[in-house]
Structure 1
Amino acid sequence: MTKKLLKLSIFAMLVFASCSKDNVAEQEIVIDAAQENPLTPQEINGKMNEALNTKGSFNWKESTNHLLWSAIVQGQNIATIGFGDSKNDYDRSKSANNQKIQKELTDILLKYEGESVNKILISSDAYLNLMDVVIKKQETVIALRRSKYIRYIEPADYRYMASSSTERSDSSSSSGCGYDAEALSTSDYTTVTPNAKVPWAFYQHNIPSAWNYSTGRGITIGIVDTGVSPNQSLLGSSFNDGASTGRTIQKYGTYVDSIWPWSTSTDGPNDQCGHGTSMASVASAPRNDNGLPVGVAYNANVVTYRAAANVVVEGYHEQNGVKNAFTALANRSDVRIISMSMGHIFSVGKIEDGVKYAYSKGKLIFCAGGTSTSFTNFVGVIFPAWMAETVAVTGVKEGAMQKCDVCHSGSKIEFTVVMQRASSGNTVPVNNYNDNQTDYVGGSSVATATSAGIAALVWAKNPSWTREQVLTKMRQSASLYPNKNSEYGYGNVNAYLAVQ
C-alpha cells in the first residue's frame, strides 16, 4: 500500500511539474520600473563590449531580457526566433512538430503584442526552424523565453557597427571593398604555360606541383560573398579558356538591398563591392594565355552567391542573405565545398542554423578567421569561423609563422595560408573587378578562398572520399602536423603532399 501511494505521489509531482513547465509562459510578467524604457544603442554596445572583453565572445542567449528587448527595439523591432524540441532541432524536414511549435509561439506573440498575424510574422523559413517577427513589447520577449520550444531569440536588424564610433573593416582595405586596379610587381608572380601568372603565394603551398596530379576538375565550390563582377570575363564568358575547360560558373543573388525587412526582391548576382570577385578569382580563375593570375583550382566548377553588400555581415538583409545562400548550396548535391570570407564578431542564430544545415548535407565549409584594422583587434577568431562545423583559416606572413598585419588568430584556427610578403608587404595577385586589370588581395579572406581551392584539388584527386577524409589529408600535409598550434592550427597546407 505504501509503495502504491508513493508511486501515485511521484506521478502527481511529475504531472504538476510538466503542467507548470507548459504553463510557465502564463505566469505574471512584472517589469521593473527602471527597465521600462529601452537602452540606447551606445548603452547596448557598451554591454556587448564588456562581454567581448571579459569572455572573448558575446551571445544573445546570455543577455538579460531588457538588453535583448532593447536591441530588438533599436533594430526596427525585428527579431528572429529559432525554435524546436531541442537545441539541435533546426532542420524542418527532420522536425515532426515544427508546425505545432510555430503556432504555439505565434499564439504567444499574438497574445502579448495584440496584433494580427500579418502584422507580426515577416517570414517563416522553408528549411530551418526559424521565423522573423515584429516584437514591440518587452513582455513578449519574456513570455517567449519562458517557452521550452525556444532555441534562441535575437535582434534581427540591430547594427552594432553602425551604432559604434569604431572603424569598419570594409571601408578600404586589401580584404574589403574596392574597385581600384594595381599593377603587379614582377617578383610577385611566375609565368607558366600558356601565359598565366601564378601568384607567389601558391609556391609557398606547392600548388603548382599539385597541378600535375589535380586541377579541381569535377568538383564544385560554392562561394558565399558579395557576388562576382559582370565586367570580369574570366569569371564569365571566358571561364572556360586555355587549360580550363569543361566546367561551369553559376551566379545567384540572395541579398536584398533595402532598409525594409518586408522587401524580398534581390539586387541580383553582380558584385558591387569587389571582394567576391577577388575570392572567386583566387579559388578558380582560368589558366589561359591572357597574362593574368590563375586560380588554385582552375578546372573546378563554381557557384557564387551575392549574399551581402560587404564583408561585415550586419543587418537583416545581409544576415538573411547569407543564411539563404547556405541553405541553397546545402540543397545542391553537386556542391561539395563552401567558402565564405565574411563574418561578424558575435554569433547570428539564423546563420548558425544555415551553416549546420549545410554541414549536415556533407559540405566542407571554410570560413575566414577574421581580418580587421582596429575595430575588432580585441577579438580572436570571428563568427562563423569559430563554429565546430566550419574550418577556420587565417593568413600569415612569408617566412616564420606569424599572422599578417590585419589577420586574427586563435585556438579555432585550423589552417594558415601565406599571403603577405616579408620584404614588400605585398599580398596575393588576383584578377581585378574589370577585364585585363589586376589587383592584390590579403587577409584571412584570401587565405580562406585559397584553402577551399586546395580542398577542391584533393577531392578531385579522390572523388569518392568523404569530407572527413579530405580534411584529414589536408591536416596530414600541413606544416605543423601532428601538433596543433594554439594560434595557427596545423599551419600551412602542402597541396602537393595533399594530392599524393
Structure 2
Amino acid sequence: MKKLQLVVLAAFAIIVIGCTKDNPLTEETQETNLTSETSQELLTIPQINKIIDEQLRRTGDFSWDKTSDQVLWSATVHGSGILTIGYGEKGESFSTEKNARLTDSKNAIISEVISMEKGSRKETLFEDDDVLNVIDVQVKSLKTITELRKRNDIRYMEPNAYSFFYSEQYPQNRSSSGCGKDGQTLNNNDYRTVAPGSLVSWTYDEHNIEQAWSYSTGSGVTVGLIDTGVSQSQPLLGSNFNDGYSTGRTIQKYGTFIDSAWPWSNNYDGPHDKCGHGTSMGSTIASPRNNDNLPVGVAYNSNLIAYRATEDVLLNDYHERKGVKDALRQLADRSDVKIISMSIGYPWSINNVKDAVRYAHSRGKLIFAAGGTSLDFTNWYPVIFPASMSETVAVTGITDDGTYEQCDTCHDGSEIEFTIVMQRANDNGRTSAVLGFYNGDTDYVGGSSVATATTAGIAALVWERHPTWSRSQVLNKMRQSSEFYPNKDSTKGYGNIDALQAVQ
C-alpha cells in the first residue's frame, strides 16, 4: 500500500546519536553554555542534531531560544548564514498598519547586523515582510548572535535554512516525504458508485458524508489548500473541475515555493504539483461529481485555491518555510476564503510560519492542520506543528475497528479536535480512495493528511448551510456533531464527525 502521508519523522528514531565524537555537547554542557563564556568552536551538523534530539526527547518540544549562542550560530552557518528574526514585543506577530515603533526597531536591528557583519544593506537583508514582523538577514559572526540576543525587541531568532532532517547522512529526506505519483487500482469494496457515475470512498460512509449532500455540497464556499500544489496532468483538478454535478465553481492555482538550494534565489517553481501529495488532498476536498467513474470530493461544489508552497510535506527547507508563510499571507488577505487546509508540518514550531498562521487566524480563517503521520517506530512523538497551535484545528486518522484505534502512522495528543476514519483495520489496511496524479488514475491516501482534508471538506458543507456564520459557529457545530461531545477525549478530541448531523 502506497503511503502518501505526512512522513515528518521518518528518520527521527535513528538521528545521529552515535556521530558525536568531535567534541559533542551533552545536555549538561549545553545548559552550562547558556550562562558561561560562549565557545568559539563551530559545531558539526551531527552535534547540533544531537542537541535537538535530546531537547525533543526530554521536553517533547524544541526551541532555538533554549540553546546556546554557539548552537544557534553554528546552525545558522550551516544554513547558509540565514537568520530569521521576529521583532517587536511578545505576541506582536504582525502589523496591519504602519507602526513607527516597530519600523524603528526593525531598522535598528538591520543596522546592528550590518555594522557587526561589515556588509551593505543589500548583502545583509534577504526578506522584509510587509505585514508580518519578520526579517531574514545574513549572519556569519558568532558575536552578532550574542549581541542580538541582548536586545529586548526581538521575539525570536531561528536558522531557517538549517534542516534537522537534511544532511549528508540523510539526503533523501529533502524531497521525498509523503510523495508518490503512481496510481493504484481500487478494490471494489472500497467505493460505491453514485449518480451520475462517481465513486464514493468507503471512508465517507463512516461520517455520513453522502447523506449530508442532500443538504449541502459546499457551493459558494472557498477552501484554500496549502500543500505541494495539484497536478497539471489531472484535468479534474484543472480544465474539467467544472463538470457533471460540479458546475459554477472555480479552481485557482498559485506557487510560492522557490525551487533552489540557494536561499537568495527567486526562481519560483510555479503552481503545479511534482510530488503527488497536494493532488490527493485537492481530490479529497473538491474533486468533481461527474460520470468519469472516479472518486468524488467531500465538498464537490466548493471552490478551491491550491498553493504549491512546499516541495513535500516536511517543512525542512528555507524556501518551503517561506513558501508556506507567503501562502498563508495571501490566503489570509482574500475575503472569499473561509477555510485553509494544511496537511504539512514539522516536529517543532517554525516561528515565521507561526506568525503567518496567527495573521490568517486574525482574519477569520478556519485553519485545519494534520496532527502528524510518520513511520510506526516514531509514533511516540506528539502532535506536530502547526497542528500544535491553538489557532489551528488539529485532526488525526483512526481505523474502522470501532475502538478509535490510532492509524498505523498517525499521531495524536491533547491538541486533537477531530478524528476521521481513513484506514481499514483489516484488508491490508487500505485507506481513502482519491484521484490519481495522472488523468484517469485512481489512488489510495492515508494518515492524518487525508483526515485533515476530509475535515476541511466537511467544514465547507457546514459553511454553505450557514453562510453568515463565523468561524467559531462553524467549528462549534462540528464539535456538537461529533461522537464524544460535550466531552473531549485526552488524545482523540471530540472524535468522529457526523457530517449529516453537522448540516441539519
The TM-score with structure 2 as length reference comes to: 0.90
- How far 1:87 moved relative to its partner? 2.8
Q: TM-score, normalised by structure 1?
A: 0.91
What are the equivalent positions in structure 2 for 1:223-262 lying under 5 Å apart? 223-262=225-264
What does residue 329 of structure 2 align with?
327
Question: More deviation in 244-253 or 105-114?
Answer: 105-114
Cα deviation digits, residues 353-388 of structure 1 (max 9, x gap): 110010000000000000111574331100010001
Cα 1:158–1:258 shift into 2, 3 Å: same
Q: Which residue in the other structure is 1:37 paired with?
A: 41
Structure 1, unaligned runs of 5 or more: 1-29
Aligned pairs for 1:66-465 within 5 A: 66-93=70-97, 95-163=99-167, 165=169, 176-373=178-375, 376-398=378-400, 399-424=402-427, 425-465=429-469
Counterpart contact for 2:276–2:437, Cα < 8 Å: yes
Deviation per CA, 1:410-443: give whole Å up to 9, x if none. Answer: 1111101000012211000000000111000000
Counterparts in 2 of 1:73 and 1:92: CA distance versus 1, 3 Å: farther
Do the aligned partners of 1:287 and 1:298 also contact (CA within 8 Å) in 2? yes
Structure 1 residues 320 and 270, CA gap change in structure 2 (3 angstroms): same
Q: Is the 8 A contact 2:176 2:312 kept in 1?
A: no
- Hey, what does 2:64 align to over in structure 1? 60
Paired with 1:255 and 1:490, the residues of 2 have a C-alpha distance of 35
- 1:48 and 2:52 aligned: yes
The correspondence for 2:498, drawn from 476, 494, 497, is 494
Give the Cα–Cα distance (whole angstroms) in 1 for the partners of residues 484 and 98 of structure 2.
40
SS at match of 1:97: helix
CA 1:94/1:408 → structure 2, altered by over 3 Å: closer, same or farther?
Answer: farther
Contact residue 175 and residue 311 of structure 2 kept, 8 A? no
Q: The residue matched to 1:357 in structure 2 has which SS?
A: helix
Q: CA deviation at 1:346?
A: 1.1
Name whichever of 62-71 and 322-331 sits farther off.
62-71
Q: Is the 8 A contact 1:338 1:452 kept in 2?
A: yes
Q: Hey, what's the Cα distance between the residues in 1 that align with 2:304 and 2:43?
A: 45
Provide closer, same or farther for how the CA distance between residues 382 and 42 of structure 1 changes in structure 2, counting only shifts above 3 A: same
CA shift, 1:98, in A, is 2.4
User: Which residue of structure 2 lines up, in the alignment, with residue 11 of structure 1?
Assistant: none
Letter in 2 for 1:220: T
- The superposition leaves residues 167-186 of structure 1 with CA deviations (integer Å, 9 ceiling, x where unpaired) of 9778878xx10111100001
Matches of 1:395 and 1:403, distance apart in 2 = 7
**Contact 1:38–1:66 (Cα < 8 Å) also in 2:** yes
Verify the 8 A CA contact 2:192 2:202 in the aligned structure 1. yes
**Secondary structure at 1:35 match in 2:** coil
Task: Give secondary structure in 2 for the equivalent of 1:93.
Answer: coil
Find the aligned partners of 1:234 and 1:497 in 2 and give their Cα distance. 29
Task: Report if aligned partners of 2:399, 2:425 keep a CA contact under 8 Å in 1.
Answer: yes
Q: Is 1:475 matched with 2:479?
A: yes
How far 1:162 moved relative to its partner? 1.2
Residue equivalent to 2:25: none
| Post-superposition offset of 1:290 | 0.3
8 Å Cα contact 2:165-2:173 kept in structure 1: no
Q: How far did residue 94 of structure 1 move?
A: 6.3
Contact 2:203 2:422 in 1 (8 A): yes
Pick closer, same or farther for the CA change 1:238–1:341 going to 2, 3 Å: same
Decide whether the 8 Å contact of 1:45 with 1:163 is kept in 2. no
Conserved in 2, the CA contact under 8 Å of 1:167 and 1:375? Answer: no
Q: Once structures 1 and 2 are overlaid, which stretch shifts more, 259-268 or 368-377?
A: 368-377
Question: How many Å separate the matches in 2 of 1:417 and 1:348?
Answer: 26
| DSSP 3-state at the match of 2:97 | helix
Question: What SS is found at the alignment partner of 1:218?
Answer: coil
Equivalent-residue separation in structure 2 for 1:147 and 1:356 (angstroms): 24
What RMSD over aligned residues (CA atoms) do the two structures have, in Å?
Answer: 1.8
Match of 2:6 in 1: none
CA shift, 1:32, in A, is: 6.8
CA deviation profile, 1:424-473 (whole Å, cap 9, x unmatched): 11000000000111000000000000000000000000000000000000
Q: Distance in 1 between matches of 2:259 and 2:39?
A: 34
Quote the sequence identity (%): 52
Matched residue pairs, number? 469
**Amino acid in the other structure paired with 1:85:** E
* AA partner of residue 448 (structure 2): S
- Decide whether the 8 Å contact of 2:85 with 2:136 is kept in 1: yes
Report the alpha carbon displacement of residue 34 of structure 1 after superposing the two structures with TM: 6.6
Larger radius of gyration: 1
Query: Could you tell me which amino acid in structure 2 is paired with residue 262 of structure 1?
Result: W
Cα displacement (A) at 1:210 = 0.4
> Aligned AA for 2:408?
D
Structure 1 residue identity aligned to 2:160:
A
Distance in 2, Cα, partners of 1:133 & 1:377:
36
CA distance in 2, matches of 1:73, 1:138: 9
Task: Give the aligned residue type for 2:65.
Answer: K
Q: Distance in 2 between matches of 1:214 and 1:31?
A: 60
Equivalent residues of 1:226, 1:273 under 8 A apart: yes
One-letter identity of the residue aligned with 2:207: H
Aligned-partner residue type, residue 311 of structure 2: A
SS of the counterpart of 1:132?
Answer: strand
Contact 1:166–1:375 under 8 Å retained in 2: no
